[in-house]
Structure 1
Amino acid sequence: MKQHSILLFSAMMLGLGACQKGEIPNLNTPVADQIIANGSKEQIDNLAVAMESGMRFTLNTYFDAIGLQGREIYRFSGSEPRYTQELMGGTGLDNNTFYTTNPWASRYRVVRQANTLIDAVNASTRLSANEKKGYLGYAKTIMAYQLLITLNMQYTNGIRTDVKDPNNLGPIKGYPESLADIAALLDEGKTELTGSEITFPVSIVADVTPLKLLRFNRALAARVAVYRQQWAAALTALNESFFDLNGPLYNGYVHIFSANSGDILNPVFLPQNNAGEQRLAHPSYAAQIAAGDDRLAKASLRSAAASLDGLVSNRDVWIHTSNTAPIYIIRNEELVLIYAEAKIQLNQIPDAIVALNVIRTKHNLPVYAGVITPAALITEMLNQRRYSLFAEGHRWIDMRRYNRLNQLPNDRPQDKVWDKFPIPLPETNQ
């Protein structure tokens, strides 16, 4: 995939920073106002790149926070005890610390960038109608994705879906209402991308075309549909996406990273057998995986077990194998499992079993031979999602969707699986 270093540097000059903690800069600046009023094509392109680049910040905090809640990982850090204390239960989650404020601020910064891009595109006299549709469709798709992963953390606390006017923010809406707004935004993005032209840099997919971005949009729509328990809508979205029942499981859309000047490295990567900062597989992952399942390689065996605060693991999380490895946003393996889930829920059992067997056989397991009831197949589907999507940000959400958080392990008497993160303190003062 191509890396646009010059544009990424320009994006940083518009307000992006590489730090993982600290205040998030405001894009409502005179520079942004000038671009909105009379931006050149290059300046508008830089806004698009800034939006995409910004999606990558604080991903480590996001994946650590929800990975800990889903009991997929341990996060050991000599300088940050809250990973093994507050985030594992302990005294409760803090509404004014890095694991709540930074993911929220980073995602809303991208939403702000998307709104700035939309305003600049709508005001531009330099772009054709179809070029405008491309920018607008992409911006709305990315905005929806950023709101979705914010909502993943907040759950029934809800989020703001209307933040276009920073001086007059929309209300914090509940979980169903927020999901509905995100689905509507994806539908708007679909409409814009249909018949559009893509004349700006995009790095989440190689050799970008309007059709590829439309398929990305619809894949996200399928994810949102299953969260809303709209099973037929999920299948419709899958049919418009890049879903391929028999295709490569790692086909998909990614955040990319590099060591190039002006870019950043994968923030989730940690080396195997690291002595200081450690991201470890929860012991239950290897203990409960089926014999012969090749997904065990996602939790590589350490040369020596690591321990901290009464927690012990002898396996590293090993899904990002270098500091320039991509982080997947969505990929075909998830779509196959979404297909299986929707088919189970619609009582189309033979189709569901075919999809589950695609996953099983591609990971060196025999075909499903268990009880054939919707309840048993839901358990099987969740189990396959556990191993196929390990540490990719799904386990906690999946168990929450099916009211199974009480099935996740607590390793110490004080531990607790929280069902949501608190709304950041600065937001409660708005």
Structure 2
Amino acid sequence: MKQPLITYIAQHKLRFLQYLLLAGFTAMLAACQKGEIPNLNTPQVDAITRNPTKEELNNLVTGAESGMRFTLNTYYDAVGIVGREIYRFAGSEPRFTSELLGGGSSTLDNNTFYITNPWAARYRVVRQCNILLQAAANSSFITDAQRKAYLGFAKTIMAYQLLLNLNMTDANGIRISVQDFEKPGPIVARNIALDSIAQMLEDGKADFTGSAVLFPLSSGFTGFNDAAGLLRFNRALAARVAVYRQQWAQALAALNESFFDLNGSLTTGVYHTFGTGSGDQLNPCFFAQNVTGEVRVAHPSYAADITPGDDRIQKATLRTAAASQNGLSSNRDVWIYTSNTAPIPIIRNEELILIYAEAKIQTNAFPDAVVALNRIRTAHNVAPYAGAVTQAALIDEMLRQRRYSLFYEGHRWIDLRRYNRLNTLPLDRPGDDVWQAFPIPQNENQ
């Protein structure tokens, strides 16, 4: 008989397996969701990968999509606080206003929730996608075209999940090779990780080409739930990775194969969705306006720096009374997700337009860049750009538009780090710090 899960964890210190089991245990406490693997012990994995039916493969897809939503609030809060987009006030959790902001002599902890929880959750999805890859390869119940779709989906989602972890740890690296969860591969440097993530997306692209999608996806994939749509989603993520790698021509090529539309809706894209049904999850980033106790508020600089008349001020609505904690204060709520079932974007057209602008700036195609930047400005009630048409000035403008268009979507800290501008972020109290990267979780170094 297998040991109880908690006993197993107490008696074994396999680094990567521990995170997977802990994440799975926590997720099961929160909700028993269709498709999630209840136990990752080898016999059960062998059973599901030996010759799975279409239904079993579809459950793996559903579980992977569902798992992507877990601890998103921890990820967005952590990178948003470090990037001085938001404050998170919680009476029971002082680390939001101490360690994440470098208050006093505090530093980032490698064994606490703001890194261990999102790290584990993302790798849990990677684990499920690796199982899906093996299962799809071995199934005799699907056609080759259907097999290609499962493989493309798994590789695309794995790349996205690994990228989120790399966004946190940056120069400290991540693990890429994790097929054997008892003996995972080494932690690799950022550039190697980005190259590997880019290759996963290329491999996913090849799989989606000529594939036939059999599996169901949530409404967050509406318009992208067939082979052509998933390919466009894959290419959108590839464009994001390309600008992270400073591969500007590759970014433009990926955009041409994505759902990028300079004149299209800014909200078109792929989303995490939430619901109130049994076994579903609520949006973890939602707080009602003017609440007290557990509060998420905009950094004061968001409103102070915004152009008068810019409608993106609606993302940070005025409170009836300012919220304060530990020497920090803000009078504006974060109001991106306006209900507990509001979707959270994975990637959307507004970001793609800004990626296009960035790539055009970096390749000295300034008129095209200005057109794209003006598409964003005028959509938000801001007059067309009238500044200098130089690379330096246009980079400033592009980063400014990304700041307001992608507020609390997990980009500002990464953007300023990419351009070596973390020193431009405000320090709100004497002794505060702006961190370059989160540490690798402690158990990964044992």
User: Which segments of structure 1 move beyond 4 Å, counting only runs of 4 or more?
Assistant: 12-16
Q: Distance in 2 between matches of 1:211 and 1:308?
A: 49
- Given residue 28 of structure 2, which amino acid in structure 1 is its aligned partner? G
| Counterpart for residue 6 of structure 1 | none
Q: What are the equivalent positions in structure 2 for 1:71-82 lying under 5 Å apart?
A: 71-82=84-95
Could you tell me whether the CA contact under 8 Å between 2:24 and 2:39 is conserved in 1? no
Percent identity over paired residues: 64
Q: What are the equivalent positions in structure 2 for 1:123-142 lying under 5 Å apart?
A: 123-142=138-157
Q: By how many angstroms is 1:224 displaced?
A: 0.3
Could you tell me whether the CA contact under 8 Å between 1:16 and 1:50 is conserved in 2? no
Return the match for 1:389 from 394, 403, 406.
406
Deviations 1:253-293 (A, max 9, x none): 00000000010100111110011100100000001100000
**Is the counterpart of residue 365 in structure 1 residue 382 in structure 2?**
yes
Q: By how many angstroms is 1:130 displaced?
A: 0.3
Return the match for 1:89 from 59, 79, 102.
102
TM-score (norm 2): 0.91
Q: What are the equivalent positions in structure 2 for 1:95-174 lying under 5 Å apart?
A: 95-174=110-189
Deviations 1:23-49 (A, max 9, x none): x97524433321111322111111110
Q: By how many angstroms is 1:167 displaced?
A: 2.3
Q: Distance in 2 between matches of 1:58 and 1:28?
A: 23
- Given residue 310 of structure 2, which amino acid in structure 1 is its aligned partner? D
> 1:242 aligns to what SS in structure 2?
coil
Q: What are the equivalent positions in structure 2 for 1:403-414 lying under 5 Å apart?
A: 403-414=420-431
| Counterpart for residue 54 of structure 1 | 67
| Counterpart for residue 321 of structure 2 | 304
Q: By how many angstroms is 1:166 displaced?
A: 1.3
Q: Distance in 2 between matches of 1:373 and 1:51?
A: 44
Q: Distance in 1 between matches of 2:67 and 2:136?
A: 19
| Counterpart for residue 356 of structure 2 | 339
CA 1:342–1:152: 2 relative to 1, 3 Å: same
Return the match for 2:262 from 231, 237, 245.
245
Q: Distance in 2 between matches of 1:65 and 1:14?
A: 22
Could you tell me whether the CA contact under 8 Å between 1:18 and 1:57 is conserved in 2? no
**Is the counterpart of residue 354 in structure 1 residue 371 in structure 2?**
yes
Deviations 1:333-375 (A, max 9, x none): 0000000000000000000000000000000011000111100
Return the match for 2:221 from 182, 196, 205.
205
Deviations 1:155-174 (A, max 9, x none): 00000111001122111110
Count how many residue pairs are aligned between Structure 1 and Structure 2. Answer: 415
Please list every run of 5 or more consecutive structure 2 residues that lacks an aligned counterpart in the other structure: 1-22, 32-36
- Given residue 221 of structure 2, which amino acid in structure 1 is its aligned partner? V
| Counterpart for residue 235 of structure 1 | 252
> 1:17 aligns to what SS in structure 2?
helix
> 1:329 aligns to what SS in structure 2?
strand
Q: Distance in 2 between matches of 1:72 and 1:258?
A: 27
Please list every run of 5 or more consecutive structure 1 residues that lacks an aligned counterpart in the other structure: 1-11
> 1:136 aligns to what SS in structure 2?
helix
